[in-house]
Amino acid sequence: MRDSSPLPPRAAVLSRRAALGLAAAVPLAAASPAAAAPSATPTTARTAARTTTIGGDLLGLGGVQVRGASGLPKRLTARSWLVADHVSGEVLASYNAHRLLAPASTLKMLFADTVLKKFERTETHRVTDADLAGIPAGSSLVGVKPGITYTVEQLWLGVFLRSGNDAVHVLSHMNGGVDSTVAQMQAKAEDLQALDTHVVSPDGFDHKGQVSSAYDLTLFARHGLADADFRAYCSTRTADFPAGGKKTFQIQNTDRLLTGAWGVPTYDGLIGVKNGYTSNAGNTFTGAATRGGRTLLVTVMHPKSGGSGVYEETAALLDWGFRQGANARPVGTLVAPLSEGGAAAPPAGKAPKAAAGAPARAETSSSSWGLVGGAGGAVALLAGGAVAWRRRRRAVAAGEAPASDPGDSGLGASDRGGPEAGGPAAGGPDAGVADPGDPGARHRR
């Protein structure tokens, strides 16, 4: 585990898709880097992703993307974030929207998108030792025990409220096994056109090569919130969970903006959706809130270490969206799933032009990140992006987290604040789980 040294300057970083989008704008780059490296996941959807930016060209550029609105929150530290309108799918502002980062338990949104409708809420399952085999050591647990019979609804409450990897594994075994569920999740991600996402485990726990992006996580949340059960689970604050016999114990949602735990003010109009933390990945959060008849989605990934930073930055971006969203001209869109009539992204066109330079901090710019001026600068930038892209592809193919961006491996990062197991212990009425604000906490999820 690396030390917790400050993050490097927040220079714009090209994602693989941004580099490929730039290739169309630079004649000297006729040999696309897409031809230089094999696909780590050789599917039609991922092959198409190498020649386009899902959601729009601006989202493939590094740095802040916003048009027509000002006043973005100052001192944002997240490595990636995105603000979108839930109904229209318009992306109102973003920062490194397609940057590949470890998702932690926010990946459970994709798990729910994939498995939630497979079983009725009232269906029951008696848990066996085999159902709980293979849960990674250090996982967050809701307290599922072999020999106890649970309803599907209770298991989903364990997933959404306590981010219980034990509940995830039981539902995965009911769904045909962990490996089958992972394959189904990957297929679901590709149907949603969430092509930054590579699934290794259903629970989001740290695994080499498991990555997603702020854009993809927002897609997962938007798709999930269209389902009444998903929406109900993610907005539930407390629930009674079976402890054996007729006994129960109370579990609490670890979303601090929803519950107000650990001194974080509850956010007016908050719906959910899902938080996550591992000591390697840091904090991630996707939240949704409704005010004045408008629902916004915000995803924040990997802010600097410290207690409740991920919630504070989410709240600040939601505030901005509700104040300035009506003035913002979209910088992209959340695409529709292919299975629901969404159009597959076409090959990328000419990359948008912008002035030289890249904002080092979110508050320093309210315009699109600039392309280095001049043909020579563009070629140099493309070359750097192509190298970064090839490194990412090799890393994923080798089963490692992409680490071409400084400080951007997602996995192997230092502890970045406390885990999301907030409040009383998960795993049973007497379990002692360290609090997220406790500097000694190293509980993972």
Catalytic residue among 163, 213, 279, 404: 163
Within 96-220, strands assigned E span: 124-126, 149-151
Written as six digits, the tokens of 168 are 């995830």
- Residue 163 annotated to the active site: yes
**Type and span of the H or E element at 90:** strand 90-95
C-alpha torsion sign, points 289, 291, 296, 302? negative
Residue with tokens 């493309």: 382
- Residue 105 annotated to the active site: yes
How many Å apart are CA 308 and CA 312, to the nearest integer? 6
Catalytic residue among 80, 108, 304, 366: 108
For residue 84, report the phi and psi dihedrals to the nearest 5 degrees.
-140, 155
- Are 194 and 62 a contacting pair, CB within 8 Å? no
DSSP 3-state of 5: coil
Q: What type of residue is 157?
A: L
Number of other residues whose CB lies within 10 A of the CB of residue 261: 22
CB under 8 Å, gap of 24 or more: what pairs does 184-189 form? 184/114, 184/115, 185/110, 185/111, 185/114, 186/41, 188/110, 188/113, 188/114, 189/110, 189/216
Residues contacting residue 184 through CB under 8 Å, at least 6 positions apart:
114, 115, 175
How many Å apart are CA 334 and CA 314, to the nearest integer? 18
For residue 125, report the phi and psi dihedrals to the nearest 5 degrees.
-145, 130
Catalytic residue among 15, 105, 366, 404: 105
Burial annotation 106-122 (CB, 10 A radius, 16+ → b, else e): bbbbbbbbbbbeebeee
Burial annotation 129-157 (CB, 10 A radius, 16+ → b, else e): eebbeebeebbbbbbbeeeeebbbbbbbb
- CA distances for 12 relative to 294, 354, 372, 385, angstroms: 31, 13, 11, 11
Q: CA 186, 204, 411: angle at the middle one, nearest 5?
A: 105
> What residues act catalytically?
105, 108, 163
